[in-house]
Amino acid sequence: MWKIAVPVSIAAGFVIADAYQHNFFRLSRIYEEDFPARLYIYTQHPEGIATLDKTFKDIKEDFAPIRGKFESIQPATIYFDDPDRLVNRQDVRSVAGVFVPHSNKKLAEDFVKVHKQYEILDVPQLNTVKIVSPYRSMVSWYWLHRIVHSAIREYVQEHNLSKDPSELPLINISLHSKVETYIPYGKNVECLNISKIPKPMTRE
């Protein structure tokens, strides 16, 4: 029996060590910040969040020939459901794509003419709540979706920024070794309702 327990203990030790390395037992500061206006070039992600890596692999390949022409390009996911409210938390609706500055509008328009699965959203300035989290491994992904997303929604609730934070979209922007997470609230939020996927089943 102990022969099985030892490898499990070692694996658990690595997970705990990784958690400490990420400061997983202490959340980063959550604060309010304006989200600047920009363009979002995106595609629908019809499957659950567990397969987002594949969609972003396709996005990376599609943008590879022209990536260097953009002044700035930031991979980003927008989520449309609170997983804690769903029957199956993996069924969160999402779209995947990249944020680019308005100065790259012509490039963006030319790109979607060739790649018909993409659309462009002109995102206005938004009031948001923000948190920045480290990203170094799959443990980071688990921490982000299980802990960070819940914490930022709780902030919105506690500060009376929305009647129901579970109905607000959530934005993750992937940067080098970190993820910026935003929840927009108030004016202009409805412009982000761009998912074409049927709403998943929620808990009673």
CA distance 104 to 88: 38
Give the rounded percent of residues in the chain with a pLDDT score beyond 70.
87
pLDDT class of 129 with cuts at 50, 70, 90? very high
Instruction: Look up residue 22 and give its two tokens.
Output: 């990420």
Q: What is the pLDDT of residue 139?
A: 86
Total-model pTM: 0.87
Report domain extents, the chain: 26-192
SS3 5: helix
pLDDT class of 17 with cuts at 50, 70, 90? low
Q: What is the pLDDT of residue 5?
A: 46
pLDDT digit string (tens) for 145-174? 999 999 999 999 999 999 999 999 999 999
CATH of domain 26-192: 3.20.80.10
**pLDDT higher at 142 or 170:** 170
Distances (CA, A) of 130 to 93, 181, 182: 21, 6, 5
For the chain, give the mean pLDDT.
Answer: 89
- Residue spans of alpha helices (H) in the chain: 2-21, 52-63, 105-114, 138-143, 149-158
